[in-house]
Amino acid sequence: MMKVAVILSGCGVYDGAEIHESVLTMLALVRAGAEPEFLAPDIPQLHVVNHLTGEVASGESRNVLVESARIARGKIKDIAQANVGDYAAVFFPGGFGAAKNLSDFAIKGADCQIQADVLRFAKAVAAAGKPACYICIAPAMIPHVYGSGTAVTIGTDEATAAAITAMGGQHISCPVKEFVIDKDRKLVSTPAYMLAENIADAATGIEAAVKATLALI
């Protein structure tokens, strides 16, 4: 069974990894015969959001690795200690954690930076020519990993697409149940909850993107 990496960014759509997307990615991988291994950076979250009210919880702090372990059922590694050579492909579920913890895209837009351990790992994946799949808002990190001209989608959101273009990416509008592939870079992206109206919409696109990514191995 081939091992693949799934990079998490916390636990919860507003301040971490989107739980539906993370679980759907894992389910699609296992059904396709892959063995997912979870990774996350051992860093503080940007902030903690009360998911009942949508408001930032003042005075509360959480750790990205610890929170990600909730989704991984405790089986997770610090991405700083991970070796790209151990994995056949890598997957980045979305959620605001990708834009707040794995990067600061939610704050700085086109001027964003990617967290150092995450960037090292993602660039090593690209340099090794291994397939990668970025889901939902996570594709906003792609231009900083793969460089100018990379084909990428976050769906149809004009402001996010404009920021990706400003970073040098080639944004392609895409329906929720489909994906965009940059074959030269073995790179797949899909909109998921950037467009999904329900979990079934997200599941269809994610499963298609997972299959397309595994086919590039």
**Active-site residue numbers?**
136
pLDDT, tens digit, 9 for 90 and up, residues 66-105: 999 999 999 999 999 999 999 999 999 999 999 999 999 9
| Token duo for residue 25 | 């990615």
pTM of the shown model: 0.98
Outline where 5-50 has alpha helix (H).
19-31
DSSP sequence for 192-217: GGGT-SSHHHHHHHHHHHHHHHHTT-
CATH superfamily to which 2-214 belongs: Class I glutamine amidotransferase (GATase) domain (3.40.50.880)
pLDDT, tens digit, 9 for 90 and up, residues 102-139: 999 999 999 999 999 999 999 999 999 999 999 999 99
